[in-house]
Amino acid sequence: MTRTPEATEIRTFATTGFEFRAVPEGRTMIGLVAPYGVPADVGTFTETLNPGCFAKSIKEAARNLPLHMNHRHEEIPVGKAVRWEEAPQGLLAEFMFDTRSDATEAARLAEEGLLASLSVGFLPLPNGSDWNLTGDRPHVTRREARMLEVSLCSVPIYADAGVIAMRSAGVPERPSTRVVPTPKKDEFTKWLQELQTK
């Protein structure tokens, strides 16, 4: 097996439906962030995510991983991860939306199916990918990768996954209840700038 140069990757997953429930903190969203064992066409190659490929990221930064809109890392995230669960079909995550107006609008767009997909940004790790170059196109199996963030967006790559449920308490915007994520935004911005200059 031959390794190819690694760079930050983005994968997008489609929704399978919505559900709203009341929670004390405000509005949350549950989605399948990474389906396991499902080959996906990502352009010049195909890819499969192995179970547990993001386990280290979750252990190290589970509640600091931000929820963005369309990978706009220069903006404040609309939410953050609050719970992760390894399931047979893949990695499930629950995200808490902030209570400011643009985050509330992002939740509404997700509920109405206008931003019906989840997209994960990740960095393949050295020796964490197995490449098979023998077929018509290369295929990579991701055994380990570093998750950087998750975004709401509209067009999926993995059609089998996405937003599963939404929960809402209908809480109005109040600074005292605001959930403002504190991800390593500067680090993410630096990575993106380095990629753009290559």
Read off the pLDDT of residues 76-116 as tens digits, 9 standing for 90 and up.
999 999 889 998 888 988 899 998 999 989 998 888 888 87
Tokens of 107: 């939740």
* pLDDT above 70 coverage of the chain, percent: 66
Strands, sheet with 28-35, edge to edge from the N-terminal-most edge strand? 9-14, 117-124, 145-153, 66-69, 79-87, 90-97, 28-35, 163-167
In a domain, 185, yes or no: yes
Beta bridge partners of 145: 124
Give SS3 for 75.
coil
Mean pLDDT (the chain) is: 75
What pLDDT does residue 132 have? 93
In a domain, 20, yes or no: yes
Range of the domain at 100: 9-171+179-197
What pLDDT does residue 186 have? 56
pLDDT at position 8 over 70: no
Model confidence, pTM? 0.72
In a domain, 3, yes or no: no
Q: How many domains does the chain have?
A: 1
Tell me the pLDDT band of 61, cut-offs 50, 70 and 90.
confident
Tell me the pLDDT band of 36, cut-offs 50, 70 and 90.
very high
The CATH number given to whatever domain includes residue 122 is 3.20.16
Residue 154 or 186, more confident: 154
pLDDT at position 172 over 70: no
In a domain, 184, yes or no: yes
Mean pLDDT of 9-32: 65
In a domain, 57, yes or no: yes
Residue 159: partners with Cβ closer than 8 Å, 6 or more residues away:
13, 14
pLDDT at position 196 over 50: yes
Residue 58: partners with Cβ closer than 8 Å, 6 or more residues away:
65, 84, 91, 147
In a domain, 70, yes or no: yes
